[in-house]
Amino acid sequence: MKKLLTLVFILPLFTIGCGGDDTPEPTTSNTLNKELLYDKRWQNKSNTVVHRIHSDGTYSVNDTWEWLNDSDTMIVHVKSTGKDLKWVFNTGNTADRMEAKLDQTTSWGEYRTSW
């Protein structure tokens, strides 16, 4: 009987100690969070390149943009030249820092909402 009572008291403690951890595992994502890019003024450190990606599909003032096949590549339709620019965005962007490059270049440019 003593063994049974001991088992009744110890078994629940062992079960609680071996239970699942309520702390969620950190997740990493290779998905671009596009929502963080919209409706902000992004500039490089020298302020020579500025991105204004509006959530309504306008880029800067007169141009428009669209995502290429729902990817991390944005096509900017430049009305003044009639040409398109393809910007590739790094997936590690934050609310105030992002990296982007033209699709035919190899180096990433850093852009921030303020320097």
74 lies in some domain: yes
User: Does residue 22 belong to any structural domain of this protein?
Assistant: no
| Residue 9 in domain | no
pLDDT of residue 31: 77
Query: Could you report the per-residue pLDDT of 61-103, keeping only the tens digit for each?
Result: 999 999 999 899 999 999 999 999 999 999 989 999 999 999 9
Any domain includes 65: yes
Q: Which domain holds residue 77?
A: 33-103
- Whether the per-residue pLDDT at 32 is higher than 80: the answer is yes
* pLDDT tens-digit readout, 33-71: 999 999 999 999 999 999 999 999 999 999 999 999 989
pLDDT in tens, 3-14: 544 444 454 544
Count CB atoms within 10 A of the CB of residue 109.
18
Whether residue 7 lies inside any domain: the answer is no
Q: Could you give the number of structural domains in the chain?
A: 1
DSSP codes joined into one string, 36-93: GGTTSEEE-TTS--EEEB-TTSEETTTEEEEESTTSSEEEEEETTTTEEEEEEE-TT-
